[in-house]
Amino acid sequence: MPDVITRTARRQARALVSLFKSASAGGIILIIASAAAIIVANSSLAEMYRWLLHYSIGGLSVELWVNDALMAIFFLLVGVEIKREMLIGQLATWGQRALPGLAALGGMAVPALIYLGFNISNGETVAGWAIPSATDIAFALGVLALLGSRVPISLKIFLSALAILDDMGAVIIIALFYTGGLSAMMLAAAGGMVLLLMLMNRMGVKRLTPYLLVGVVLWFFMLQSGVHATIAGILLALFIPLKGKDEQQDAPLDKLEHVLSPWVTFLILPLFGFANAGVSLGGLTMDDLLSPVPVGVALGLFIGKQIGVFGMALLAIKTGLAPRPHGSSWSQLYGVSVLCGIGFTMSLFIGNLAFARTPLLVDEVKIGVLAGSIVAALAGMLILRFSSSRNESHRES
């Protein structure tokens, strides 16, 4: 009996290690953390959950530490990925950028228009127009990983590139449209830190520590400036050197990405999901569930994303601007377009910014994001599960 227990424990340990090494691990853990938040928010622990989120540490609530500080690290990783892909990766040439770039543009514009269609007459809720415009890269790539070899590598590259460009668009939207009262003095101080980072880069500083120390100061000034503090992460990433001192030394950018990736995947994003997905359903009526905000968000993600992404991809391919991803069929490309409607992390983040002073609207955003993302994930998986690449992949019609 002890030998049986030992073998079972070893198999379970190997399965756990395999899970954490898999591409779907981040998405699965994020789902678990978000589901836990919903369960807790609708249980006898709801009061403790709210107390914990609003508990003050160093002048900021736990919720703000997660959304303004930890998410700045997430945005730093996003910035690192954007820089690497734009310089030496999947987006290094204009030809490589054409298809995912146009698809990302359509996938941001159409969901926003659908949301506005439901909310244009309401001056309070119209501010949430950007909520359904974002694709959650961790969730979407996690779903693709679960499908394994049924999806061509070219489509995984397409989705990854699209999501990176989508994140870039979301960062620009946050910087331009979701800022508070601006402090000229703090903005000037933040600008000074950016100039210092630029000078360090030009002088050939290759060590990460000086960049990270300046980045912390930049984050503080951004936090006080009225521009959302997470933008500091993106700005810092722009100046991290892409190459080391020599070929034997790891590039600072690669080293930073290697260090940050597991922390973001297995700690920061799950904490964000737990802190932001918890919505209490007890006080919500059917009118709340079917109000313009959750309906606009859900339909924007599920309907708008697939129309925008697939429509622009189809236009780019048919006009000869870009080829269809190698070895893929139209139905597979459509299935990936549906998966782009998984908007979880960035959509919740923008929702918190848009309706920071209206908790009920934030709860409605959560319902819309969860509904739209779940339907998009299930529909996309089904389409890709039963799509064939053999019959269509070489047929241009």
Sign of the CA dihedral 130, 132, 134, 139? positive
What is the tens place of the pLDDT at every residue in 41-91?
Answer: 999 999 999 999 999 998 889 998 998 899 899 889 988 888 888 888 878
DSSP 17-71: HHHHHSTTHHHHHHHHHHHHHHHHHTSTTHHHHHHHHH-EETTEEHHHIIIIIIH
pLDDT at position 335, please? 94
Q: Are 110 and 296 in contact (CB under 8 A)?
A: no
Number of domains in the chain: 1
pLDDT at position 391, please? 45
Instruction: Quickly state the pLDDT bin for 152 (edges 50, 70, 90).
Output: confident
Burial class (CB in 10 A: 0-12, 13-18, 19+), 227: buried
DSSP state of 128: G
Whichever domain contains 366, its CATH number is 1.20.1530.10
143-146: long-range pairs with CB below 8 Å, 24+: 143/24, 143/27, 143/339, 143/342, 143/377, 143/380, 143/381, 144/23, 144/336, 144/339, 144/384, 145/22, 145/23, 145/24, 145/27, 146/24, 146/381
Q: If you average pLDDT over residues 157-174, what whole number do you get? A: 86
Q: Is residue 146 part of a domain?
A: yes
Q: Is residue 165 part of a domain?
A: yes
What is the tens place of the pLDDT at every residue in 301-333?
Answer: 999 999 999 999 999 999 999 889 888 899 999
Q: Is residue 219 part of a domain?
A: no
Q: Are 129 and 120 in contact (CB under 8 A)?
A: no
R_g (Cα) of the chain, nearest Å: 22
Domain region containing 324: 27-179+228-386
Q: Is residue 349 part of a domain?
A: yes
Q: Is residue 380 part of a domain?
A: yes
Q: Is residue 171 part of a domain?
A: yes
Q: Is residue 235 part of a domain?
A: yes
> Beta-strand (E) ranges in the chain?
56-57, 60-61
H or E element: which one contains 237? helix 231-238
Residues 6+ apart with CB under 8 A from 41: 49, 278, 279, 280
Q: Is residue 45 part of a domain?
A: yes
DSSP state of 238: H
Q: Are 252 and 98 in contact (CB under 8 A)?
A: no
H or E element: which one contains 219? helix 208-225
Per the structure block, which two tokens stand in for 99? 């298809």
The answer, as to whether pTM is greater than 0.75, is yes
Q: Torsions phi, psi of 60, nearest 5?
A: -120, 145
pLDDT at position 265, please? 86
- Per-residue pLDDT at 369 exceeds 50: yes
